[in-house]
Amino acid sequence: MEKDIYKKLGLKRYINAYDTLTNYGGSRMSDEVLEAYKEAASYFVDMREFQIKASERIAELTNNEAAYITTGASMGVTLACAACMVGNDRYLNSRLPNTEGMKNEVVIMRSQRNPYDKAIEVSGAKLVEIGNLFTTEEFELEGAINEKTAAVYYIKATNYSKAAMPLEKVIEIAHRKGIYVIVDAAAQLPPKENLWKFTKMGADIVAFSGGKALKGPLNTGFIVGKKELIESCRMIGFPNRGVARGGKISREDIAALLRAVERYVEMDEEQYQDDMRKRVEYFVNQLKDSNLYSVRIEEIGPVGQIYPRAEISLKTNAFSVEELAEKLKEDDPGILVGLPLQKPYDVFYINPLVMDECEKEIVLERLMEVGRTFKKEKEETR
């Protein structure tokens, strides 16, 4: 019998030199994390107690007042918004997502609207936009906050920061008016200090993904923040019935995420960064004399994380970056390379975050092979 589940189902496998993309499975779990998953599957446990104990451990590891494990950062945002609206009121919780008569408005900067902000509306909250695509003024936030305001939402990512107010100023204005601030920091690791940085700045609740740099299960995440809000999230969330019942998380996922957080917090971050830099420098050194590619080191990740990537541009007009990226995906395993967040695609990236050491040579070989093939075909058609 075929042991490889992907081959058995006729699916193509990929080497991920792009990023921790949900569409391609997120990250890669370590043997320790997989072992924790397997161990948790061997016995049964009171899920409510397990959630509490594991979350308390994550709060301790991340230097936060409280924590709660979720099914991804998106559910963390949904729970955070719900908690800001209902507090510890079980009746209001039972009415969600019907929020008529509640403090049910969440303020969001128009420049920070993003594909994941539907998680806010899932809770029953109503979005109130301020600012425009070029700037957001302090008076706009001050004026938008009223007796219906439950929270201000802020996504911490460089691609949403250009026209946004600084987080520090958002926190200052919101707290002066007695309003909570929710920070979506799903992909903001590394550095590990971000696990406590935003709450130390004053953010009331912060959501992280467990399936990205933490290298836990794809469908996990957690929120950290003020104990009063986390307790409310515990009342709203699984294993309770209600608006967040769909956010059910298994005992195996809780165990694996906890171990992933432990490993991440305990790691030597300097060594971690050094390992990624060596992987990037491999491409710099190997391609420096290439007549196809020019390469430099980009010091930050796609949305502002602190780690290096190889930024590669073309020295030839025989093919485009987009054509190259599509051609690299064709083999089995296909190769995923990073593209800029917006067109035109004048460069592409090799991201070391989830690549195995042994994969870098395969990626380089395919880059050269595909590039030479394109160039030869171009010359033959002249």
pLDDT tens-digit map of 253-276: 999 999 999 999 999 999 999 999
Strand pairing report for 66-70 and 126-130 = unpaired
Give the list of residues 6+ apart from residue 46 with CB closer than 8 angstroms, or none.
Answer: none
Could you list the beta-strand ranges (E) of the chain. Answer: 14-17, 66-70, 105-109, 126-130, 149-155, 180-184, 205-209, 221-225, 293-298, 309-314, 334-337, 347-350
Mean pLDDT for 91-106 is 96
Tell me, what's the pLDDT at 377? 78
- For residue 382, pLDDT over 80 is answered with no
Distance CA 209, CA 340 (A): 22
Tell me, what's the pLDDT at 1? 44
Mean pLDDT for 307-331 is 95
3-state secondary structure of 334: strand
Asked, colleague to colleague, whether 5-23+268-380 and 44-266 share their fold, the answer is no
- Residue located via tokens 């010359």: 379
The full set of domain ranges for the chain reads 5-23+268-380, 44-266
Distance CA 380, CA 262 (A): 56
Tell me, what's the pLDDT at 2? 56
Mean pLDDT for 180-185 is 98
Mean pLDDT for 354-361 is 92
Share above pLDDT 90 across residues of the chain, in percent, rounded to a whole number = 91
Q: Give the confidence band of 4 by pLDDT, cuts at 50, 70, 90.
A: confident
- For residue 380, pLDDT over 80 is answered with no
Whether 80 and 86 have beta carbons less than 8 Å apart is answered as: no
Tell me, what's the pLDDT at 343? 83
Q: Quote the distance between the C-alpha of residue 261 and its chain's center.
A: 14
Fold of 5-23+268-380: Aspartate Aminotransferase, domain 1 (3.90.1150)
For 44-266, CATH gives 3.40.640.10
Whether 153 and 111 have beta carbons less than 8 Å apart is answered as: no
Mean pLDDT for 31-36 is 96
Condensed to tens digits (0 to 9), the pLDDT of residues 264-315 reads 999 999 999 999 999 999 999 999 999 999 999 999 999 999 999 999 999 9
Tell me, what's the pLDDT at 195? 98
Share above pLDDT 70 across residues of the chain, in percent, rounded to a whole number = 98
Q: Give the confidence band of 246 by pLDDT, cuts at 50, 70, 90.
A: confident
